[in-house]
Structure 1
């Protein structure tokens, strides 16, 4: 079954199509040909605004995890030779604090249907049994329904199209690096030192820290429209997290 035939995803694509086309029509007299591209950016901002409570919950969960780190380190020392009890004690600790070690996954999961919808808008010739008007829109003459890798394979890359795609990939990568440096706190020795009887997850943690850079790779493969979404949402995430960290007192937590 085509995922885009799944009723909730199909309804989301229809709603996104209605929003982008109407925004594009409103913006056409103001910005001209790039109206659909600007509409996608505005739609992304609107979506991320709605997801601010999710981001706030993620930051609060991160604060809780860092506050619990010394207690978890103590549990590791106390139950180093009893991994089953250690896992049980850690689970009970998170339950007592009404927190979850997986809370950071929520914003990513919440955005996935939106990214799928934006991608679907520019790969389907018809939307809700009507011709897809968005396929004719461009940004600086580059069609919104083509991607960098697709253009490379077709030998259709120009200086303009290559510059547009490279700019998006570079912005996403730079923001990802800034996010990694600014928002990922250094681990304490208690968190990084392997404990007897406890699996060493330090390698996995380091690998996960590079996951934001995967967005830059994805931006090279998806249509330009989806790349604009990825660039906007990545930049928004960094700005939102910096503001929320300041408002929720992460700096004060680091100073203690």
Structure 2
């Protein structure tokens, strides 16, 4: 159902790429999408801050009404309402972002778009085709120029994942703190174009967390 939107996004990136080059077009397009979604990110951050403020009170309510789930839900909802938010305020912005990320992601991994070859993947960045995969280039040697481009990408993603992880001390369950590192694994199996998108998007996310979320104690 996203085919029409994916096709439009693809043609927009291609048109931009004719002026700036494909790699720069991917960077600019990804930044534009994240800028468009910034209001949703701000709402999500505000909801997170509200949840942190009321967390001790929510825990007290859980202990007090442990045997009365209905009363617990009612009192918790009242507590969030008093803070001008709700238990689901942080979820809705995230769901709103999902279609945009899906469309952008599909543009950078699909070999065929609207029945036509994805010419974006035939272009290159630092001499490596944007449709190339790490498993293919590493066959020519781990220290070959194309492999080094991917290794550089992995290193940058690792740094950004570590920065994001450091600012997720309040995230529960704690296993979710490892999610930023999944971008490294994903980039190892995706085309270079998708890896570049992940790099830009992850850098934006790291910046958002630094500016919009409270600093962990």
**TM-score interval (norm. to shorter):** 0.7 to 0.9
- What is aligned with 1:80? 66
1:171 alignment counterpart: 156
Q: Classify 1:88/1:161 alpha carbon distance in 2 versus 1 (closer, same or farther; 3 Å).
A: farther
Counterpart-to-counterpart distance in 2, 1:105 and 1:221: 29
> Which residue among 13, 16, 23 is the counterpart of 1:37?
23
Query: Which has the larger displacement, 227-236 or 164-173?
Result: 164-173
- State which of 53, 63, 81 in structure 1 corresponds to 2:39: 53
- Structure 2: give runs of 5+ residues left out of the alignment: none
Q: Which residues of 2 match residues 130-209 of structure 1 at below 5 A? A: 130-149=116-135, 151=137, 155-156=139-140, 159-185=144-170, 205-209=173-177
TM-score (norm 1): 0.72
Contact 2:77/2:87 (<8 A) preserved: no
Q: CA deviation at 1:211?
A: 1.7
- 1:181-206: CA deviation from partner (whole Å, max 9, x where unpaired): 134348xxxxxxxxxxxxxxxxx611
What count of residue pairs does the alignment treat as equivalent?
A: 216
Q: 1:44·1:233 contact (CA, 8 Å) conserved in 2?
A: yes
The within-5 A match list for 1:86-165 is: 86-106=72-92, 108-149=94-135, 151=137, 155-156=139-140, 159-165=144-150
1:144-197: CA deviations, max 9, x gaps?
112224555xx35662222222222222222122122134348xxxxxxxxxxx
Which position in structure 2 is the counterpart of 1:192?
A: none
Q: TM-score, normalised by structure 2?
A: 0.84
Structure 1 residue ranges without an equivalent (≥5):
1-5, 28-34, 187-203
Q: 1:80–1:116: structure 2 CA closer, same or farther, 3 Å change rule? A: closer
Q: Counterparts of 2:116 and 2:203 in 1: how far apart (Å)?
A: 33
Aligned to 1:216: 184
